Structure 1
């Protein structure tokens, strides 16, 4: 994916707002972006935050039009939202919810040529800040990345809303964000291009590194705080690392093997119920193995991600080392032309990728046993 042009670039949202109770100022921030907002949220999310949002928009003199999101950011769902924007004459579209809602809204806002805003209610991915959407088929397989000429006009994160959500969402976000530095480091070493369309800047790479440091220091206390639905400084730091630092870091620092392996995992039905960050973590461990990273580094990563509650074995994502057919399918999808695995500083063959995927099972089990950590539990498809 490397460009002959050696420009360096960084992209970011126009404004980022984060804090406990931030949702109450949504209306105030929206007034500078439009007068006819279209709010998109599924029924569950709207049940949590709908009242606060209605109040905030009312106070700002804005009308409340809410459209239900249907669950998958597919091409059809995106086109449906574009129609609704046209019908209602909306001039700003607001995504309220998780990564799927956010990706569908970004794509629809771009196609309709209006402003778009993200209000993540969980800190489970870095989708809220980026200028791209991941589009899936109706049944949940990775279809394509869609790139936009700009990032969201506003990202607004209410950390109390995030802390009210199950801790598993925050843990998944840590899995997504931990990959940021591993992938940015590899992209920089390869002098490869990033999603921002150029070589990484020092800034993009530094933010990816900062995200990593913040998470190693704060993820475990933040998860404990969220289990009690409280916002502490550790929670604020982890939400920022998962959302802003990881968002700018992956986009302007570069993606590599971990996210390509995530996309490969979506090609087999066993993994469809898993969160994005859970699948990414399998990609991170596998990328470390492919790099021949120091054993101590891989061991520490497995211990830490086990404590966070992330999968680092095939068992935990519904697979096994014996699943040759599935592993070959995953490897083929991960190594597809244009995939981010080609940003690695070396070539990777399907055989090498399958071998690395197989190897994490026994290695992670051994590490977890030595550290007196729980054994992997098989993932049951819901």
Structure 2
């Protein structure tokens, strides 16, 4: 009877022990705790009245502080401080800034896509198009001038600015050195000529001058030139339309990817980490960084300056930023918001679209 009772007591004790072990957490490593304490008890270099633990464990801008130890890839023993930057104030400010950036970018690229979609080859402004317009204009004038008899003027006109002639033809325009010597018929013909060629601009009209000197073959040559230019223009139109389709496709893809990123833009959590090396006799601050966790995992979050639009790695300055309460300011949150946006769109390829072509 005594043996049975002893066995029952022993089994009960073993069961209780097993239950206790299943609910308990491993006891902290004394050495790790000492390393963490050695960092937390450090006096802040620029304020001898506070310790690092006092500063870092009582932050309103980054909550739920945690301390642990690890070994880096160079074999250094490190103490790591981590806190959760996802406070209500930070979330609201960062989400507002990120949302504003998405809205601005989506609006801008939607506007570009609209221009590209509405564009037509006839909207192209090319040298070929200008040459066609000029050739058509001069050819039309020549055909109009061909309907008049200019024989009363021929003996009076020079096409090389010879001062011995009363009339000069240059750039398709007639002008007289001594208008008083012209007959009434000649004056009327000069006025008629210039009325036809009046739309010509400086540097134009050479084909009209050439036609007046020798009309043989000028019209047919201009018509062939016009045909050749229109063939070149048709090729340019084809290339332009192909470019438009490529740009339209690329911009449509870009907007779809931006919309997909935008849909998940608020699904994030930011933490801040600081590191001290405790390999030597005294802890040495190694700097810090921000980390972002989202649907892709956890990665470093690099703040971006809204002013220079470039990355800002505070690193070893982070401790001073925390002590100076900078990490809780709107300016700091704006940098993190810009960095978060850049992180979210980092894999989106922005097409090179020449907007001046549309």
Q: Is TM more than 0.5 here?
A: no
TM-score interval for Structure 1 and Structure 2 normalised by the shorter chain: under 0.3
Greater RCO structure (CA 8 Å; 6+ sep): 2
TM-score, scaled to structure 1 = 0.19
